[in-house]
Chains A and B, each alone.
Chain A
Amino acid sequence: MNDVATLSGCSKPADNAAGPAPVLRERGQREVFCGLTGIVWLHRKMQDAFFLVVGSRTCAHLLQSAAGVMIFAEPRFATAIMEERDLAGMVDCQDELDRIVGQLLERRPDIKSLFLVGSCPSEVIKLDLAKAAQRLGAQYMPRVRILSYSGSGIETTFTQGEDACLASLVPEMPAAPADADKQLLIVGSLPDIVEDQFLRIFAQLGIDNIGVLPARNARDLPAVGPNTRYLLAQPFLADTALALEDRGAQRIDALFPFGAEGTTGWLHAAAQEFGIDEMHFNRTVAPGRERAKRAIEHARGALAGKRITFLPDSQLEIPLARFLATELDMVPVEVGTPYLHRAHLAQELDIIPPSARISEGQHVDRQLDRVRADRPDLTVCGLGLANPLEAEGLSTKWAIELVFSPIHGFDQAGDLAELFARPLRRRDMLEV
Chain B
Amino acid sequence: MQLSVWTYEGPPHVGAMRIATAMEGLHYVLHAPQGDTYADLLFTMIERRNKRPPVTYTTFEARDLGKDTAQLFQDAAREAAERYKPQAMIVGASCTAELIQDDPGGLIEAMNLPCPAIPLELPSYQRKENWGAAETFYQVVRHLADKSVERPAREGRPARANILGPAALGFRHRDDLVEIRKILDMLGIEVNLVAPLGASPADIATIGAADFNIVLYPEIADEAARWLERTFDQPTIRTIPIGVGATRAFITEVAELAGADPTPALGDTHSRMPWWSRSIDSTYLTGKRVFVFGDATHAVAAARIARDELGFEVCGLGCYNREFARDIRAAAKEYGVEPLITDDHLAVEQAIVDASPELVLGTQMERHIAKRLGLACAVISAPVHVQDFPARHSPQMGFEGANVIFDSWVHPLVMGLEEHLLTMFRDDFEFSDDAGASHHAAHSPRKTVAAGDTQANVAMPAPAQAANDGRDHSCEGTVIEAGLWTDEAERELKKIPFFVRGKARRNTENFAADQGREQIDLDTLYDAKAHYAR
* Residues of A bordering B, CB below 8 Å: 28-37, 54, 56-58, 60-62, 64-66, 68, 70, 72-75, 77-84, 86-87, 93, 96-97, 99-100, 103-104, 107-108, 120-121, 123-125, 152-155, 157, 365, 382-388, 390-391
CB distance from B48 to the nearest CB of A (A): 6
For residue B149, CB closer than 8 A to chain A, the reply is no
A364: nearest chain-B partner, CB-CB = B37
| Distance, CA A162 to CA B35, complexed state (A) | 15
Task: Check B124 against A57 for contact (C-beta < 8 Å).
Answer: yes
Task: Check A96 against B364 for contact (C-beta < 8 Å).
Answer: no
Task: Check A82 against B125 for contact (C-beta < 8 Å).
Answer: yes
> Chain B residues with Cβ under 8 A from A387's Cβ?
44-45, 48-50
CB neighbors of A among B1-15 (8 A): 1-7, 9-11, 13-14
Contact of B33 among A60, A73, A154 (CB under 8 A): A154
Contact of B125 among A31, A36, A83 (CB under 8 A): A83
A155: nearest chain-B partner, CB-CB = B62
Contact of B35 among A72, A93, A97, A153 (CB under 8 A): A153
A390: nearest chain-B partner, CB-CB = B50
CB distance from B423 to the nearest CB of A (A): 31
Contact of A384 among B38, B60, B96 (CB under 8 A): B38
> Chain B residues with Cβ under 8 A from A65's Cβ?
10, 38-39, 41-42
> Chain A residues with Cβ under 8 A from B60's Cβ?
154
B12: nearest chain-A partner, CB-CB = A57
> Chain B residues with Cβ under 8 A from A104's Cβ?
3
Across the A-B interface, give the 6 residue pairs with the lowest CB-CB distance, nearest first: A34-B35, A153-B35, A384-B40, A391-B50, A120-B96, A72-B368
| Distance, CA A155 to CA B50, complexed state (A) | 31
| Distance, CA A384 to CA B5, complexed state (A) | 23
Task: Check B96 against A121 for contact (C-beta < 8 Å).
Answer: yes
Task: Check B100 against A124 for contact (C-beta < 8 Å).
Answer: yes
B372: nearest chain-A partner, CB-CB = A72
B367: nearest chain-A partner, CB-CB = A72
Encoded as 1 (CB less than 8 Å from any A CB) or 0, chain B from 82 to 124 comes to 0100000000001110011000000000000000000000011
For residue B126, CB closer than 8 A to chain A, the reply is yes
* Residues of B bordering A, CB below 8 Å: 1-7, 9-11, 13-14, 33-42, 44-45, 48-52, 56-62, 65, 76, 79, 83, 94-96, 99-100, 123-126, 128, 364-365, 368, 371-372, 451, 455, 458-459
| Distance, CA A61 to CA B128, complexed state (A) | 11
CB distance from A234 to the nearest CB of B (A): 20
> Chain A residues with Cβ under 8 A from B38's Cβ?
33-34, 37, 62, 65-66, 384
> Chain A residues with Cβ under 8 A from B364's Cβ?
70
Instruction: Assess A386 versus B44: contact at CB under 8 Å? Given A78-B5, A84-B126, A124-B99.
Output: yes
Instruction: Assess A82 versus B1: contact at CB under 8 Å? Given A57-B10, A121-B95, A387-B45.
Output: yes
Instruction: Assess A83 versus B2: contact at CB under 8 Å? Given A58-B95, A386-B44, A387-B49.
Output: yes
> Chain B residues with Cβ under 8 A from A64's Cβ?
6-7
Contact of A56 among B37, B39, B44, B124 (CB under 8 A): B124
CB distance from B260 to the nearest CB of A (A): 40
Task: Check B6 against A154 for contact (C-beta < 8 Å).
Answer: no
| Distance, CA A121 to CA B125, complexed state (A) | 10
CB distance from B335 to the nearest CB of A (A): 28
CB distance from B164 to the nearest CB of A (A): 26
Among A82, A99, A100, A386, max chain B CB count under 10 A is at A82
Among B10, B13, B35, B123, max chain A CB count under 10 A is at B35
Task: Check A32 against B44 for contact (C-beta < 8 Å).
Answer: no
| Distance, CA A250 to CA B61, complexed state (A) | 31
CB distance from A180 to the nearest CB of B (A): 38
Task: Check A120 against B11 for contact (C-beta < 8 Å).
Answer: no
> Chain B residues with Cβ under 8 A from A56's Cβ?
11, 95-96, 124-125
B64: nearest chain-A partner, CB-CB = A154
Task: Check A80 against B50 for contact (C-beta < 8 Å).
Answer: no
Contact of B44 among A93, A157, A385 (CB under 8 A): A385
Known: A30-B34, A65-B42. 19 other contacts (CB 8 A): A28-B59, A30-B37, A56-B11, A57-B10, A61-B10, A66-B38, A72-B371, A78-B3, A80-B4, A83-B2, A84-B126, A99-B1, A108-B458, A124-B96, A383-B40, A387-B45, A387-B48, A387-B49, A388-B51
CB distance from B368 to the nearest CB of A (A): 4
> Chain A residues with Cβ under 8 A from B50's Cβ?
387-388, 390-391
Task: Check B61 against A155 for contact (C-beta < 8 Å).
Answer: yes
Among B40, B59, B364, max chain A CB count under 10 A is at B59
CB distance from A90 to the nearest CB of B (A): 12
| Distance, CA A65 to CA B34, complexed state (A) | 16
> Chain A residues with Cβ under 8 A from B39's Cβ?
61, 65
Task: Check A58 against B94 for contact (C-beta < 8 Å).
Answer: yes
| Distance, CA A90 to CA B88, complexed state (A) | 39
Among A32, A60, A65, A103, max chain B CB count under 10 A is at A65
Contact of A70 among B1, B6, B100 (CB under 8 A): B6
Instruction: Assess A81 versus B123: contact at CB under 8 Å? Given A152-B33, A153-B34, A384-B52.
Output: no
CB distance from A104 to the nearest CB of B (A): 6
CB distance from B95 to the nearest CB of A (A): 4
> Chain B residues with Cβ under 8 A from A33's Cβ?
35, 37-38
Task: Check B95 against A34 for contact (C-beta < 8 Å).
Answer: no
A58: nearest chain-B partner, CB-CB = B11
Task: Check B451 against A60 for contact (C-beta < 8 Å).
Answer: no
Task: Check B59 against A34 for contact (C-beta < 8 Å).
Answer: no
> Chain A residues with Cβ under 8 A from B62's Cβ?
123, 152, 154-155
> Chain A residues with Cβ under 8 A from B3's Cβ?
78-81, 100, 103-104
CB-defined A-B contacts under 8 Å, sample of 26: A29-B76, A30-B59, A34-B33, A34-B36, A37-B38, A54-B1, A56-B124, A56-B125, A57-B124, A58-B94, A58-B95, A61-B11, A61-B39, A65-B39, A70-B365, A70-B368, A72-B371, A73-B451, A80-B3, A81-B3, A83-B1, A154-B61, A384-B37, A384-B41, A385-B44, A386-B44
| Distance, CA A82 to CA B35, complexed state (A) | 18
> Chain A residues with Cβ under 8 A from B57's Cβ?
29-30
Task: Check A100 against B11 for contact (C-beta < 8 Å).
Answer: no
CB distance from B256 to the nearest CB of A (A): 42
Instruction: Assess A96 versus B1: contact at CB under 8 Å? Given A62-B38, A155-B62, A388-B51.
Output: yes
Contact of B99 among A87, A96, A382, A384 (CB under 8 A): A87
